[in-house]
Structure 1
Amino acid sequence: MRQYIVRRMLMTVPTLLGVTIVAFLMIHLIPGNIVQVMLGTRTDVTPHQVQQLYQLYGLNQPLYVQYWRWLMQLLQGNLGFSLRTGLPISSLISQSFGVTAELAVGALILAVAVAVPLGTIAALYKKTIWDYLARGFAMFGLVIPNFWLGAMLVMLTSIYLPVLSVFNYVPFLTNPLLNIRDMIVPIFALALSLTAIITRMTRAAVLETMQFDHVRTARAKGLRQFTVNMKHVLRNSLIPITTIVGLQFGYLLGGAIIIENVFSLPGMGRLIVDAINQRDYPVVQSSVLFVSAIFVLINLVVDISYGFINPQIRYQ
C-alpha cells in the first residue's frame, strides 16, 4: 500500500501543475486588472503614475514571466501576498477555509445520514410506496438549484423562523449554539442535491448487490434477513457509495461558493469571488490551487479507504 500511495501522490504533481496553468490564465483573461479596478473613473492620474502602478504590481511583465515568478514562489511554500490588502494569502485562506470546511462537512454528514438509509429502504422495498417516495425525493433534490433553494430559505426563514434568519457567522469554538443556529440552514441548502445523488446511488448499488451469488447463499443458509442486509448487502454496496461521496465532497467545496454568497458566510467562496471582482490575481490563483489540492487529497483518501471496506482489495 505504501508504494501505491507514493505513486498516487506523484501522479498529483502534473495534475496540480495543470491547475496552476489554468487558474493563472483564466483570471488573467478576464478583462480589466487591479490597477483599472483601483483607479475606476478617476481622471487625475497621469499615464506615468499608471505605469508605476503596473510596475509595482508586476503587471508590466509578460504573462509567462508572471506565471514563472508565481510558480517559483509556490515551490518555496510561499502563496504570495494579496495585491489589494498586502496580507499573506496563507492567512486569508486559513481564516476562510474553516467556514467552508464546516459547511461542506456538515452538508456531507447530513446527506449521508439521510441518503444511505433512504436509498437502502428504497431498494429493499422496491416498487412500494417507500421506494416511490424515496425516488420522488431524489428527483426533487436533483432539479432544485442550490442557489434558488438558498434564496427561498432566506426569505422563508426571515418570515416564519426569524431566529434562524440571522446569518452572522460565529465560530463553533466561540459559541457552539450560535454557530449551529447560523449554519443549519446553509448546510441544508447545500446538502439537498447531494442527498438526492447519494440516495439514487445507494438504491442502485443495493439492488445490484442483492443479485450477487453470495447474498443468495447467505439467505439459503437461513441467516436472518437483517444480518443478510447489513453484513452482505449494505457492506458490499459501500464501495460505489464511498466513491460518489468522495467525488461529491470535492464538488461541495465548489457549491459552497454559491451558498456562502447567498448567506453572507465569510468562507472560501466569498474570498474567491471578492478577489475576482477586485482582480486580485495571487489570491484567486492560490485559492483555486488550494481547493484543487484538497480535492485531489480527498480522492486519494477514498481510494485508500476501499481496502478497509473490502479487505479482498489489493493495491498494485
Structure 2
Amino acid sequence: MNASIAGALLLVGRKLLTAFIQLLVIATLIFSVMYIMPGDPVLLLLGADSNPSPEAVASMRSQLGLDQPVMSQYFVWLWKALHLDFGTSLANGYPVSRYVLSNLPRTLELAFAAIIIATLIGVPLGIAAALKRGSLRDTILTSVATIGISVPVYILGTMLVLFFSLKLGWLPASGYTDISRNAFEHFRKLTLPALALGFGLAASIARMTRSSMLEILGRDFVRALRAKGMSERRIIWQHVLRNAAIPIVTIIGLQLGNLMGGTVLVEAMFNWPGLSTLLVGAVSARNYPLVQGAMLAIAALFICINLLVELLYSLLDPRIRRKRT
C-alpha cells in the first residue's frame, strides 16, 4: 500500500476514534441530565396534581426502567442510543427519534443557509479590506465587521423584521412553510432568520480573512513571485488565498458547529420549528427523554462537523497530514 494512502487512513482512523470518545463522554453527561434536572419524570407523566398512588408510581417506574440501578439504566440507554432509539416522549408516548429526525433538517437548513450567506459576504469583504490595508475602504469594512460582531442576534433580527417585513413588506416576519407545499414561500420565510444568524458570522469571517490574507501577503514567497513578474491577480487567487484558506475554513467550520446549538433565539424569534425550539420546549416541560435525544443529536452534529473540518485541513495543507502521521 502506498505510504501516503496508509498515512491518510491512519489519520482518519485516529480522528474517528477521537470523535467516538468525545461522543461517548458527551452521551454520559447527557444521561446525567435526568438526575440533575429538578422534578420527577414519573410524577410529571402521571400528573402530580392527581396524587397518584404509590402502586401507580412504582408501576410506572418499572415500566420506564427507573427502578433499575443507575449503571444498568445507563448501559441500556447507551445501547439503545447507538441504535438511534432515544425512548418515547413523556408527553404523548411518541418516539423521540421521530421528533429529532423531523426537526433536525430544519435546523440544519437554517444553519447552512446562514453559513453560506456569511461566507459569501465575509470572505470577499475580508479580501477587499486586506488588499487596501490602511485605506478608507479598509477602515469602513473593518468598522462594519466590528459592528456586526457587537450587535446581538435578537436586536439584528428585530431590525430586519422592522425594515424588510413591516416597512417594505418584502418578506414575512416569521413562520414556516414546508418546501414540498410552496418552495418560494419556504425560502422567503427562511431569508430573514438566515440573515439574522449569518450577519454576525460574516463579520467574524471577514476579520479572519483580512488577518490571514495580510499575514500571507507579507511573506517572502509573495515578494519573490512579484519580482518574477507574476500578475497580482494570479498571486492573490492561486497562492495567497490558498495559503490563507486554513484559518478561514477553521472559523467557518467552528461557527457552523456552534450554529447547531446557537439557533435557539433565532428559531424562537422567527417561529422556525427546528431542533433548538424542540429542545427548549422539552426542557420547559421536563420531558427528559426528549431533552436527552435533542442534546445528543446536537452534540453528534457538532463533533461530526469538527471532524470534517480537521480532515479538510489535511486536503488544503499536506504539511498537516505529514506532521500528524
Normalised to the residue count of structure 1, the TM-score between the two structures is 0.91
Of residues 118, 131, 144 in structure 2, which corresponds to 1:137?
144
Matched residue SS, 2:32: helix
Structure 1 residue 289, shift from structure 2 partner = 1.6
Task: Tell me which residue corresponds to 1:306.
Answer: 313
Relative to 1, partners in 2 of residues 1:56 and 1:278: Cα closer, same or farther, differing over 3 Å? Answer: farther
2:11–2:321 contact (8 Å) kept in structure 1: no
Structure 1 residue 203, shift from structure 2 partner = 0.7
Alignment of structure 1 residues 13-92 onto 2, 5 Å: 13-38=20-45, 42-43=49-50, 45-92=52-99
Task: Tell me which residue corresponds to 1:261.
Answer: 268
1:27–1:279 contact (8 Å) kept in structure 2: no
Alignment of structure 1 residues 115-264 onto 2, 5 Å: 115-264=122-271
Distance 2:121 2:14 in 1: 35
Deviation by residue 1:145-172 (Cα, 9 ceiling, x = unmatched): 2133224434444521445235221233
Deviation by residue 1:262-300 (Cα, 9 ceiling, x = unmatched): 111111011111111122222221222222222121122
Distance 2:160 2:66 in 1: 43
1:27–1:276 contact (8 Å) kept in structure 2: no
Any unmatched runs of 5+ in structure 1?
Answer: none
Distance 2:161 2:41 in 1: 33
Alignment of structure 1 residues 283-294 onto 2, 5 Å: 283-294=290-301
Structure 1 residue 225, shift from structure 2 partner = 1.2
Any unmatched runs of 5+ in structure 2?
Answer: 1-7
Structure 1 residue 44, shift from structure 2 partner = 5.2
Relative to 1, partners in 2 of residues 1:275 and 1:234: Cα closer, same or farther, differing over 3 Å? Answer: same
Greater Cα offset, 279-288 or 106-115: 279-288
Query: Percent identical across equivalent pairs?
Result: 36
Give the CA RMSD over aligned residues.
Answer: 2.1
Relative to 1, partners in 2 of residues 1:258 and 1:166: Cα closer, same or farther, differing over 3 Å? Answer: closer
Matched residue SS, 2:244: helix
Task: Tell me which residue corresponds to 2:289.
Answer: 282
1:28–1:281 contact (8 Å) kept in structure 2: no
**AA matched with 2:94:** L
2:65–2:73 contact (8 Å) kept in structure 1: yes
Length, aligned pairs only? 316
Matched residue SS, 2:201: helix
Structure 1 residue 211, shift from structure 2 partner = 1.1
Distance 1:200 1:163 in 2: 30
**AA matched with 1:165:** P
Task: Tell me which residue corresponds to 1:10.
Answer: 17
Matched residue SS, 1:73: helix
Distance 2:199 2:69 in 1: 45
Distance 2:240 2:45 in 1: 60
Distance 2:52 2:33 in 1: 29
Matched residue SS, 2:87: coil
